[in-house]
Structure formats: structure tokens, C-alpha cells
Amino acid sequence: MCVSRCLRCVGVSLVPMAIVCILCNILLLVPELKIQFLLDGHVTREATWATGLWGSGFLVLLGARAFVQSSRTRGCCAFRSQMLCQLLYSCLCLLSAASCSLVSATGLSQGPLCLYNDSSGPTWGVPLQPLPGRHSGYLFNRTLWYGVCLEPSSVVQWNLVLFSVMGTVSGLQTVLCGANILNSILGLILGRGLSHSKISPVSV
């Protein structure tokens, strides 16, 4: 029964995390809550990849649903076949969550796409990305958070918070899915667990 309980706990835990990633990615696509930036193509590249939607979002939700359903499976053979399916689901969820975490870290380090003053005038670009000889990045230099990006307003803080949350949550999803891979392997080997194995008393 230990394997089943672990499956259910992982499945239930992944649901709110997936919802958080979906919401974060949606908000990243609409800075200032204005869809016009998305329609004009003025949204940070890593946000448009939408790994929080399809990766740590919908794919992880599908995996979480399968984990919860498999925890109710009865029968030794049926349970082991379900564990094989859950092993594949866990690998898929791990890869999708890890990709979201990696993309979030990249978007966080590169900085947002915004309108800024260049030598030729206002232009759209990524002025805060680390460049040799100019600056090592904006994450630890708060003076670059204000005044560099003209539009969308406060886009630096917007991306900083949302990418940080999405990256952290997807990282937790990766850890849980990795643990579930081990749990599924144990389920394949041991079945539902040893809780039903009882030693019958010897009559004297």
C-alpha cells in the first residue's frame, strides 16, 4: 500500500503546482495585463515558448491524473502493468517540468523584451541581457531594474517574479517526478507492498 499512497500524494501535489505554472505563463504573455504586446510580438521569447502551459502545466496535469487513478488499481498483474505506465508518465512529466525550469532560468537571466532608448532612438530589444564589457546582468544590480525599459512599465519586476515562481515550482515538479520514477520501479518489483503479507499463527 506504500507505493499506492506515494502515487496518490505525488499526483495530488502536482495539481496545484501545474495550475501555478499555467497562470504564471499566461501572465508572462500579457505584461501590464494588455494583450496588445502579445499581438505585436513584443513579449519575451522564453514566455512565448509557453513551457509553463504545455510542459509544467497540461502534461503534468495529465500525469497527476494518471498517478491518482493508478493508486486505486487492484490486483497484482493489473497493478504492475499500471506501474509500467506510470514509469513512462513520470519520465514524460520529468522531462516537461525540467524543460520549463530550464526555460524559466534562461528567461530570468536574459531579461525581458522591452522598449528602451538605443543610440538610434527607442527600439525593442533585450537591453538587460549579460554582455561582456557592459554588465554581467541585471539580477544583482537593482539600479538596472528602473529606467532602462520604457514599455511595458515594470516589465523587469513582472518577469523577475513570474519566471522565479515558475522556475521554482517546475523544479519542485521535477524532483517529485524523479521520486515517482523510483516509486514506480519499486511498484514493478514489489507490487502493492508488503502490508497484506501476514504470517498465519501456528496452532499448537
| Spans of all domains in the chain | 1-114+155-191
Alpha-carbon distances of 149 from 35, 117, 122, 127, 153, rounded to whole Å: 18, 8, 10, 8, 7
Distance CA(140)–CA(29), nearest Å, equals 24
Distance CA(105)–CA(90), nearest Å, equals 22
15-70, pLDDT tens digit by residue?
999 999 999 999 999 999 999 999 999 999 999 999 999 999 999 999 999 888 87
Answer left, alpha or beta for residue 75, where phi above 0 means left and psi between -120 and 50 means alpha: left
Q: What confidence score (pLDDT) does residue 194 get?
A: 44
Scan for cell 500524494, then name that residue: 9
At 72 the three-state DSSP class reads coil
141-181, pLDDT tens digit by residue?
888 888 889 999 889 999 999 999 999 999 999 999 999 99
- Residue 135 pLDDT level (bands cut at 50, 70, 90): low
Cell numbers found for residue 192:
502493492
Global pTM? Answer: 0.85
